[in-house]
Amino acid sequence: MLTEEFLKDNLISAYFIDNDRENIEVMCRTEDHLSVFTEILPFDTNNEQYKTLIKVVSLDELHETTWEKKKQERKEYEQEVKRVAVKEGLLKKIIENIDSDYFKLMFDFLLSNKPEHIDRLFNFKIYIFEQEMIRNSKNEKAKTAIRKSKTPIEAFKYYLQIWEESNQTTNQ
């Protein structure tokens, strides 16, 4: 049974492990700090283990830790896919075969509001905010507009606004 005192001294991390956010994995060190163990807790405000955990880690922290973990897992996954693609020579084949279909798909994404494109909008916004130029921009109005964008083209429009400002500054 996890106690508040034990968690304060031994908690490594806690995060949701499923998309529905119904289960939390809690990773702790043993008291002797020689090994690590995990426990799966239900996300249930009536559960005693959950009540104990939430005294040490807030629900917001659980969500943030989950987000960071998923982001790191995605990065590692992409690196592995890239490594395999390079090793197998697939990356070179893909690059050699880029043609008008790529541009068609890109414009289809940017210019339509199909549900599947709107579903990808969140990832598109994340990608935009990962760009150094956007991170360094002082144009908070355009950055807020990107966050609030309802379509890919709207987000891209404000990205271009910051891009143009950045190029004007660089060319002066």
Same domain, 84 and 38: yes
The CA distance from 110 to 113, in Å, is 8
Question: pLDDT per residue over 96-138, tens digit each?
Answer: 666 667 788 888 888 887 888 777 888 899 999 999 999 999 9
For 158, counting Cβ atoms within 10 Å of its Cβ (0-12 exposed, 13-18 middle, 19+ buried), the class is: buried
Share of the chain above pLDDT 90, in %: 63
Same domain, 90 and 112: no
| Mean of pLDDT over the chain | 89
| Region 83-88 average pLDDT | 85
For residue 112, the model assigns a pLDDT of 82
Same domain, 9 and 92: yes
Same domain, 52 and 64: yes
Q: Domains in the chain: how many in total?
A: 2
Q: At CA 31, angle to CA 30 and CA 32, rounded to 5?
A: 90
Same domain, 124 and 167: yes
| Region 165-172 average pLDDT | 76
Same domain, 89 and 134: no
Domain boundary among 57, 79, 97: 97
For residue 115, the model assigns a pLDDT of 81
Same domain, 11 and 69: yes
The CA distance from 164 to 16, in Å, is 40
Domain boundary among 97, 131, 146: 97
Q: What domain range includes position 105?
A: 100-172
Residues near 15 by beta carbon (within 8 Å), at least 6 away in sequence: 24, 25, 62, 65, 66, 69
Same domain, 40 and 115: no
Half-sphere exposure of 72 (CA within 13 A, CB side): 6
| Region 10-15 average pLDDT | 96
Domain boundary among 80, 97, 114: 97
Same domain, 140 and 72: no
Same domain, 91 and 108: no
Same domain, 79 and 1: yes
Same domain, 93 and 136: no
Q: What HEC string does the chain produce?
A: CCCHHHHHHHEEEEEECCCCCCEEEEEEECCCCCCEEEEEEECCCCCHHHHHHHHHCCHHHHHHHHHHHHHHHHHHHHHHHHHHHHHCCHHHHHHHCCCHHHHHHHHHHHHCCCHHHHHHHHHHHHHHHHCHHHHHCCCHHHHHHHHHCCCHHHHHHHHHHHHHHHHHHHHC
Question: pLDDT per residue over 21-56, tens digit each?
Answer: 999 999 999 999 899 999 999 999 999 999 999 999
